Amino acid sequence: MRKYLLLLACLVFAGCSREDAPRAEVVNKLESLDARMAAVEKLATNTQTVRWAFANRSEISTALYVWSQAKLDEANKAEKLPPEVQEKISQYEALNGQLMHLRMPYPRMVMRPGEVQEPTAEDKAYAALAKKVADAKEPVAEIIDRRNREAMRLREVYSVERVVGEYVKGRYDLVVDANEKVLYRAAGEIPDITEGVLRFFREKQK
């Protein structure tokens, strides 16, 4: 296409300037046209289309959490701990759950030298429960810490970002959360891959 345009331009310029325009002027115009065409061709070659899709992060995250909790429960049951040890773990988990739902005291304001600020009733309740949790954990700390490390490993290995990234590799270049910061979405134009990601993850675990 480029060669035909150059040939046409050459004939036009040659015909219009056979008598009036110097040969050098015609050559300069052709060189300028050739440079413009080369720039256009380079831009067209380098321009790439971004393949993108939507995914519901909350739905995928919930599915991964449910799966990881089931795996952890399965591993915990496989340990077959003595009943008295399991009872201590259950007591710790119950107390720790209460502590997690209790409001943590606000950081203390800087006081003037010599000034003492008495702890509030909430501060005392939180401190007392925190001590109970620490005391309950002490005899089974090794087991609790090991289970926490395994939970962290599962969360890292099976994070939303990793699972989605593995699923879309070679398919899409960009994935946007369907529930966050989507100001406009034309119906039917952008695929939603949430179900595809979940099917991919379930098949991978079989």
Q: How far apart (Å, rounded) are the C-alpha atoms in residues 24 and 9?
A: 15
Does some domain include residue 101? yes
**What number of other Cβ atoms are within 10 A of residue 129's Cβ?**
15
Kindly state whether residues 95 and 178 are assigned to the same domain: yes
Kindly state whether residues 144 and 73 are assigned to the same domain: yes
Q: Are 166 and 28 in contact (CB under 8 A)?
A: no
180 is in which domain, residue-wise? 56-105+119-204
Does some domain include residue 62? yes
Does some domain include residue 33? yes
Q: For 141-178, write each residue's pLDDT tens digit.
A: 999 999 999 999 999 999 999 999 999 988 888 898 88
Number of domains comprising the chain: 2
Kindly state whether residues 77 and 127 are assigned to the same domain: yes
Kindly state whether residues 29 and 60 are assigned to the same domain: no
Q: How far apart (Å, rounded) are the C-alpha atoms in residues 24 and 26?
A: 5
Q: What angle do CA 57, 170, 179 make, to 5 degrees?
A: 15
Q: For 170-205, write each residue's pLDDT tens digit.
A: 888 889 888 776 666 666 678 889 999 999 999 888
Does some domain include residue 114? no
In the chain, the amino acid numbered 142 is E
Does some domain include residue 194? yes
In the chain, the amino acid numbered 23 is R
Kindly state whether residues 15 and 95 are assigned to the same domain: no
Work out the pLDDT band at 91, boundaries 50, 70, 90.
very high
Kindly state whether residues 8 and 88 are assigned to the same domain: no
Residue 14: which residues within 8 A CB-CB, separation 6 or more?
26
